Amino acid sequence: MVNEDGTPRIRVAVIDDHSVIHDGIAVWCATEEPQMAMIGGYLSVGEFEASAPAPDVVVFELQNGAAEPYFDGISRLCDSGFRVIVFSQHTDSSIVLRCLDRGAVTYLSKSEGREHLTAAIHAAAADQPYLSPTMAKAMTNDESAERPSLSARERQVLISWFQTESKELVANRLFITVGTVNTHLKRIRAKYAAAGRPASTKASLVARAIQDGLISPSEL
């Protein structure tokens, strides 16, 4: 499944209990340049799991027919290795942060629409951070998280990695080896995991760093 220029299309799955959302996102994907491919629309996490699709990105409605936000659904999807974008009606900062803690790579409110969602899909597929206004507001307002103690060098490596496209560029910027970059990043992830705030992807590490005041959204 490739675009006309030979690049692979991003495969998108949508989990939302409103079929009109499926239809809308399918149109957005088909008319995006380069095109994405919506490979399935599902009404529930269970239906998605039963179908066993292989998307690059999952767009997930947090409410999903339940009386309360379905946080366990995020955990199930993320624990299975999917990159999850929450696309929801909820905008409360505590809900956004809880979704990020469960492993979501990006959080968007549905009012943010096509422009933000398609950009977030591109970013998620490339394991790059994407900060919607809703997500940025929630992270900059957060004051409750346990903050691991990072050394000055760890902070320098982390911020450089956010601001460049590869670990090789970080190594060149800081005059260290790629192996040393990897060592610092592994140690940072271990510290966040020990603090009960795991960050397995680059996007989730960005979220942690903004929450902890290490970098601001404008610096990315």
Task: Specify the CATH number for the domain of residue 109.
Answer: 3.40.50.2300
Alpha carbon distance 94, 167 (integer Å): 32
Residue 7 has pLDDT above 60, yes or no: no
Structure confidence at residue 33 (pLDDT): 83
The pTM for the full model equals 0.74
Summarised one tens digit per residue, pLDDT across range 90-148 is 988 888 888 887 888 889 999 998 999 999 999 888 877 788 888 878 877 766 557 78
Residue 147 lies in a domain: no
Residue 6 pLDDT grade (very low, low, confident, very high; cuts 50, 70, 90):
low
Same domain, 74 and 127: yes
Strands (DSSP E) contained in the chain are 10-15, 36-42, 57-60, 84-88, 106-109
* DSSP strand pairing (10-15 vs 106-109): unpaired
Rounded CA separation 117/197 (Å): 25
Residue 4 lies in a domain: no
**Residue-range definition of the domain harbouring residue 165:** 152-219
